Amino acid sequence: MDERLENQNLSEDEHIKNKSDFLRGTIKESLNNPLTGALDPDDIKLIKYHGSYQQYDRDLDSERKMQKLEPLYQFMVRVRAAGGITSPQQWIALDELSDKYGNGTMKLTTRQSFQFHGILKRDLKLTIQAINETLLSTLATCGDVNRNVMCNPNPYQSEIHEEVYKLAAEISDYFLPKTTAYHEIWLNKEKVAGATDVEPLYTEHYLPRKFKIALAIPPNNDIDVFANDIGLIAVEENNRLKGFNFCVGGGLGSTFGEKATYPRLADIIGFVEKNKVIEVAETVIAIQRDFGNRQDRKNARFKYTIDKRGLEWFVNELHTRLGWEIESSRPYNFTTNGDEYGWVKGTNGKWFYTLFVEHGRVKDEEGYQLKTALRELAGVLQGDFRLTGNQNLIITNVEEKDKEAIESILLEKGVFNNPKHTGLRKNSMACVALNTCGLAFAEAERYLPSLIDKMDEIMRKNGLEDDEINIRMTGCPNNCARSSLGEIGFVGRAIGRYNMYMGASHNGDRLNTLYKEMLSEEAILEEIEPIISAYSKEREEGEHFGDFVIRKNIVEITDRPVKVLS
């Protein structure tokens, strides 16, 4: 074992990684054990690096217990698609897989990935193989490594978008684990005799915790760049990509009652030329590898490494390791962290349609046949599908002559110009939560739509039905739908009870703060009605809701702003 780690009181996860033989563990044997639908406990942790979580159907839990059955174990599988780009052929294949092995739905996640739920152990390998056959992968979508790299998905806006996307894909590939365990376990590749794994960056210990990178192109912050361990803000010069403002130390998860855990936005430490970005990112990751907390996972994210040692210490360490200093940051301006819906003509003359997908769940319901519509559309689409960081979908590169056909497919299935899609709803996000997420205290994705129905009545009464207030709900403070960046944020405390937060900026550069705790639906509506009414009457020209509640002292402004090093 590495000398630095030998004398530390390492967390259990560290021991599991260290003895896993580069993430192999006994996953193969666990998969073949017919006596249980579950994996061996260590393999449950290791399988995350391969892109899957063991879960169980929480709705059926008490019924199964009464019948003296083990929980209905099932697996979530997350698919890596850097920048969220997939071809129509890949879409069709994934759609088929969700029916064949999953619960018949797909989830477009807040990090531009696909998730399948409800896969049984016996089908897990077949599912992962089939995903790889589409030339997508699940490797490193979870686990203590760099995850799916996010990137502004709007290719129509300028030429630099394509260049930034290519860099996102390069970063995503560059930081993949190098172990061949994935190929051996899932793709039946033989280990070359005598070959040993080498993980030049991660080593056999991997990182202390998950690591996330995202690239934003102003004025859109639709991937919430400051929520990432490394955030890159594109800087243009004469319509060409020059480089990035480099941000470090974002992360939103926390634990109720544990003050040492908190959401934190990334700080801007300077500007880096585009061809140096990977070098700097690799050095940053190595610093977190070497100094991150490996004893307490709740304090192991990079944001805590920075806060514990200080931003100045970190920048010094970075410069020493690089052997050169990064430049001062450049001016930038974000206007929104939301998506721009509807048709937009791209710089290439083709059309792009951003479609609202409520909380990213691709499914069919009566009068709203989204899954069928998208499958049909994939059969005729010449361009590709791009997942947004707000759980939505962009249908890209449509010829003028094909627009009508696309609209009629969507219209026929009830997903085009749906009158329920108000300003509030279209700016809402919710995490998965129940029934699959083992960490959920309360509903999110399955509940927020009905709360919005009720809030929309209030919005309508005040003439605000088209107003874009961003509203986010998560079933726990891990913050997977980035509730801390909601102008209105709800975080589940218990079934039917939420903490309510307000006052985040509309462009994702300011966290919200706590307004009231443990609110029921009735209490939420009672609290929000007078605030919305006041907002409609007393807001200043162009003032966003998050700014209004701070100006009116309804909530305090966050004491954790984004720092900019000069």
Active-site positions read 78, 147, 210, 212, 431, 437, 476, 480
Which of residues 113 and 221 has its CB atom nearest to ligand SRM in the complex? 113
Which of residues 459 and 485 has its CB atom nearest to ligand SF4 in the complex? 485
142 binds ligand SF4 (CB under 6 A): no
For residue 108, give the H/E element and its range. strand 106-108
Strands laid side by side in the 150-151 sheet: 150-151, 213-216, 230-237, 240-248, 267-273
Half-sphere exposure of 488 (CA within 13 A, CB side): 21
What residues line the site for ligand SRM (CB under 6 A)? 53, 55, 76, 78, 109-111, 113, 115, 141, 147-148, 210, 212, 224, 227, 251-253, 301, 360, 391, 431-432, 436-439, 478-482
Q: Which residue among 476, 519, 528, 555 contacts ligand SF4 (CB under 6 A)?
A: 476
Positive or negative: CA dihedral 35, 39, 43, 46: positive
Q: Which does 167 bind (CB under 5 to 8 A by kind): ligand SRM, ligand SF4, none?
A: none
Across 346-378, b (16+ Cβ under 10 Å) vs e yields beeebbbbbbbbbbbbbbbeeebbbbbbbbbbb
Q: Give least dist CB 474 to ligand SF4, A.
A: 4
Q: Which does 153 bind (CB under 5 to 8 A by kind): ligand SRM, ligand SF4, none?
A: none
Piece of 142-150, 477-485, 496-504, 505-513 that binds ligand SF4 (CB under 6 A): 477-485
Q: Which does 109 bind (CB under 5 to 8 A by kind): ligand SRM, ligand SF4, none?
A: ligand SRM
Q: Which residue among 106, 318, 357, 433 contacts ligand SF4 (CB under 6 A)?
A: 433
Distance CA 95, CA 218 (A): 33
Piece of 98-106, 219-227, 431-439, 508-516 that binds ligand SF4 (CB under 6 A): 431-439
Piece of 146-154, 259-267, 426-434, 525-533 that binds ligand SF4 (CB under 6 A): 426-434
Which of residues 370 and 437 has its CB atom nearest to ligand SF4 in the complex? 437
Q: Give least dist CB 110 to ligand SRM, A.
A: 4
Q: Are 225 and 216 in contact (CB under 8 A)?
A: yes
268 binds ligand SF4 (CB under 6 A): no
Q: Which does 544 bind (CB under 5 to 8 A by kind): ligand SRM, ligand SF4, none?
A: none
Pairing mode of beta strands 85-86, 73-79 = unpaired
If DSSP codes are grouped into helix, strand and coil, which group holds residue 267? strand
Closest by CA position to 125, among listed 214, 66, 186, 70: 186
Distance CA 519, CA 517 (A): 6
Look-up: residue for tokens 């966290």?
511
Distance CA 393, CA 381 (A): 14
Q: Which residue among 103, 283, 478, 536 contacts ligand SF4 (CB under 6 A)?
A: 478
Which of residues 59 and 96 has its CB atom nearest to ligand SF4 in the complex? 59
Q: Which residue among 221, 288, 293, 474 contacts ligand SF4 (CB under 6 A)?
A: 474
Q: Give least dist CB 426 to ligand SRM, A.
A: 17
475 binds ligand SF4 (CB under 6 A): yes
Q: Which does 118 bind (CB under 5 to 8 A by kind): ligand SF4, ligand SRM, none?
A: none
Q: Which does 310 bind (CB under 5 to 8 A by kind): ligand SF4, ligand SRM, none?
A: none
Q: Which residue among 437, 455, 459, 519 contacts ligand SF4 (CB under 6 A)?
A: 437
Q: Are 145 and 202 in contact (CB under 8 A)?
A: yes
Q: Give least dist CB 239 to ligand SF4, A.
A: 39
Which of residues 174 and 256 has its CB atom nearest to ligand SF4 in the complex? 256
Which of residues 431 and 459 has its CB atom nearest to ligand SRM in the complex? 431
Cβ neighbours of residue 104 closer than 8 Å, sequence gap 6 or more: 98, 363, 371
Structure tokens, 342: 């509807």
559 exposure class (CB count in 10 Å sphere: 0-12, 13-18, 19+): exposed
Peptide bond into 219 cis (omega under 30): yes
Distance CA 524, CA 219 (A): 33
444 binds ligand SF4 (CB under 6 A): yes
The CA radius of gyration of the chain, in Å to the nearest whole number, is: 23
Q: Give least dist CB 337 to ligand SF4, A.
A: 18
Distance CA 262, CA 511 (A): 11
Piece of 145-153, 154-162, 230-238, 427-435 that binds ligand SF4 (CB under 6 A): 427-435
Cβ neighbours of residue 140 closer than 8 Å, sequence gap 6 or more: 49, 51, 80, 146, 147, 175, 176, 177
439 binds ligand SF4 (CB under 6 A): yes
Write the interaction track for ligand SF4 spanning residues 315-354; mark x where CB under 6 A is met and - where it is not: ----------------------------------------
Q: Give least dist CB 476 to ligand SF4, A.
A: 3
Q: Are 2 and 287 in contact (CB under 8 A)?
A: no
Across 102-138, b (16+ Cβ under 10 Å) vs e yields bbbbbbbbbbbbbbbbbbebebbbebbebbbebebbb
Give the residues lining the site for ligand SF4 (CB under 6 A): 431-433, 437, 439-440, 444, 474-476, 478-480
